[in-house]
Structure 1
Amino acid sequence: MPGSSRALGLLAGVALDAVFADPRRGHPVAAFGRAASALERRMYADSRRRGIAYTALLVGAAAATGVAAERLARTPSARTALTAVATWAVLGGTSLGREGNAMATALEADDIDAARARLPHLCARDPAGLKAADLARATVESVAENTSDAVVAPLVWGAVAGVPGLLAYRAVNTLDAMVGYRNDRYGNFGWASARLDDLANWAPARLTAVLTVACAPLAGGGPRDAYATMRRDGAAHPSPNAGRCEAAFAGALGVRLGGVNVYGGRTEHRPELGDGAPPETEDIRRAVRLSRAVGLAAAAVCAAAALTRWRRR
């Protein structure tokens, strides 16, 4: 049954990510990034139309690769294995947790230079001059947002569209990280990638927030506080998706997120999310624990959805 192959493949891919994390060499996402950079050099223009074509070519190629691979996998075991490998390739939950804990370790050792050096592994925020409290907040916010981007969203699209969905989603998210910036170079060219990423993450971000509310007790928080904060503050964030995840995490952890962020010399003033004190180093480990719980819950929900969808068909 295709549904059982897809569901088992998603769960096996989650297990592979837990054991092996991201490969340090030869990562397929890195290979896609190099291809995207090469195509950007050929296609770049300060034009939305050119950016739309660039995004369509790369996302379309990723989806077509997934379609071709699924057609070649003719047996249930082959489809399960293919889905498992594709899921492992696009997930980033284990690496996210490791980076978060590495930041906590550096801050616990009062090694501010090491902590600043690790921040680019988590987000695009400028680490220069950030103090321990700023680094802790940036890490918790990044863990919250990337729980959706790197874990829940791939699983959702894998459940909905199989291997083509997994590969296409990762292509969209990678392009957003590469060109989806509101600056002089990418304001027009990266517009399509950024908007498509917003669309692809709309449902996964809200599922992430709901699962965060449900898993709040595993991080020492309460579902009621997490839900109230998500409802009250989620829409205040400039991102239509990240705010839901960050607000739910803030409520679940009992901390306050938001404030002044600097990206490449550009300062942004983010609204405050939550009512607690700013996060401390120990809250990073709690956020990682919460992220892992949400990822496992999402795996169960998405596998069940894949199985149910195919049975109904």
Structure 2
Amino acid sequence: MRADRVLAYGATAGLLGDLLLGDPRRGHPVAAFGRAAGSVERLLWRDHRGWGALHTTVCAGGALGAAALASRALRHSPAASVALTAATTWAVLGGTSLGREARAVGSALEAGDLDVARERLPHLCGRDPQALDGPGIARAVVESVAENTSDAVVGALVWGAVGGVPGLVGFRAVNTLDAMVGHKSAKYRRYGWASARLDDVAGWPGARLTAALGVVAGGDPRGALRAWRADASKHPSPNAGPVEASFAGALGVRLGGTLSYGGRVEHRPVLNTEGRTIEVGDIERAVRLSRRVGALALGASVAGRLGAAALRRRTRRRGGAS
């Protein structure tokens, strides 16, 4: 079986597995990688970019190498290759868990229970929940759903289309390292620099595809495209900006504004200034938009892999004929 078909069957099965099963409660491979990366950090940490770059290389390179070896070992067995691709896709995707956590916060807000909503919010993002009221929590959830649609679904599928199982694993490793050490705290400002920059590079194509699919899948394509063009560059993150702006326009709401991370207050520009104030019901709308974007991303990634393979075969035939 050709590699492009392995990706098509395996990634589809993996996405269905995520939709049906979500993340496992225990023994998640990504959590195991995080524990291993934490152990490496305890050995290597210095307040220095070079040591942080070594940490990134050891952890991401190790995960990528292990995935490449596994793929190579199974390359002569189509069934095993499809199974490995499916299992890896299921392990690295997090769309179902993302939607589940977002809806849990939304249900608490609808019930008027701010304490529970604040308790659940850290499952989605690193903001200070005690500093947020109901609308602030709803905005944080929608922004997190938008950004993580790219990080936890689309970006992985894009790199899976490019590099198969190693691409899937490598992207998730880089994204996990960024979440662990890539933030601008005093401890990680230098040590996490390499992980943060590598995540910016790895996340670039998935973020643009997520934003484009948000335009296609949302309820207001013109609004999503307008917000993306007008406001994405105002966001401090080169990848979160396009995604959050596109989702804001597609949902017809305003995102951005003042927020707090670890006691540090940030004043971010408003995305989609023509939108309305966000409401609790927009959380469910954002989750549904995320699901549609994920399904379209699977189709786009598989189509891209099949199309690239067909083009290579056609080029080889023409070269042989000449």
- 1:205 maps to which residue? 207
Structure 2 partner of 1:125: 127
Instruction: Give secondary structure in 1 for the equivalent of 2:265.
Output: strand
Amino acid at match of 1:243: G
SS in 1 for 2:6: helix
- Displacement, 1:181? 1.2
Q: Which runs of 5+ in 1 are unaligned?
A: none
Matches within 5 A, 1:176-195: 176-195=178-197
Matching residue of 1:251: 249
SS across alignment from 1:123: coil
Tell whether 2:270 aligns with 1:272.
Answer: yes
**How far apart, CA to CA, are the structure 1 residues paired with 2:224 and 2:111?**
30
**Which residues of structure 2 form unaligned runs of 5+?**
313-322
Deviation at 1:269, TM superposition (A): 0.6
Distance in 1 (alpha carbons) for counterparts of 2:234 and 2:156: 25
2:131–2:260 contact (8 Å) kept in structure 1:
no
Q: Which runs of structure 2 are paired with 1:65-214 in the superposition (5 Å)?
A: 65-73=66-74, 74-214=76-216
Q: Match of 2:260, SS? A: strand
Q: Deviations over 1:245-304 (max 9, x none)?
A: 000011001000011111111111110001222211000000000000000000111111
Partner Cα separation in structure 1 for residue 201 and residue 11 of structure 2: 22
Give the counterpart letter for 2:160 in structure 1: G
Using the alignment, how far apart are the partners of 1:141 and 1:196 within structure 2?
Answer: 22
3-state SS in 1 of match to 2:53: helix
Who is 2:51 aligned against? 50
Q: CA deviation at 1:310?
A: 2.3
Partner Cα distance (1:302, 1:254) in 2 = 27
Distance (Å, rounded) in 1 between the aligned partners of 2:69 and 2:307: 24
* Other structure's SS at 1:269 match: strand
Q: Which letter maps to 2:278?
A: P
Name the residue aligned to 1:286.
285
> Secondary structure in 2 aligned to 1:270?
strand
- Moved >4 Å (runs of 4+): none
Counterpart for residue 320 of structure 2: none
Match of 2:261 among 260, 263, 269: 263
What residue number does 2:18 align with?
17
Q: Which has the higher contact order (CA 8 A, sep 6+)?
A: 1
Instruction: For 1:230-245, list aligned pairs within 5 A.
Output: 230-245=228-243
Look up the SS of the partner of 2:229 in the other structure: helix
Contact 1:226 1:250 in 2 (8 A): yes
Counterpart contact for 1:3–1:311, Cα < 8 Å: no
Map Cα deviations across residues 118-175 of structure 1 (whole Å, 9 max, x no partner): 1101100010131100000000000000000000000000000010111111110000
Partners of 1:133 and 1:41 lie apart in 2 by: 39
How far apart are 1:95 and its partner, in Å? 0.5
CA deviation vs aligned residue, 1:94-130 (integer Å, no higher than 9, x gap):
1111111111111110010010011101100010131
Indicate the SS of the match to 1:268. Answer: strand
TM-score (norm 1): 0.97
How many residue pairs end up in the alignment? 309
- Aligned-residue CA RMSD (Å): 0.8
Identity %: 57
Partner of 2:60: 59
Where does residue 300 of structure 2 map in the other structure?
A: 301
Q: Give the Cα–Cα distance (whole angstroms) in 2 for the partners of residues 310 and 56 of structure 1.
A: 30
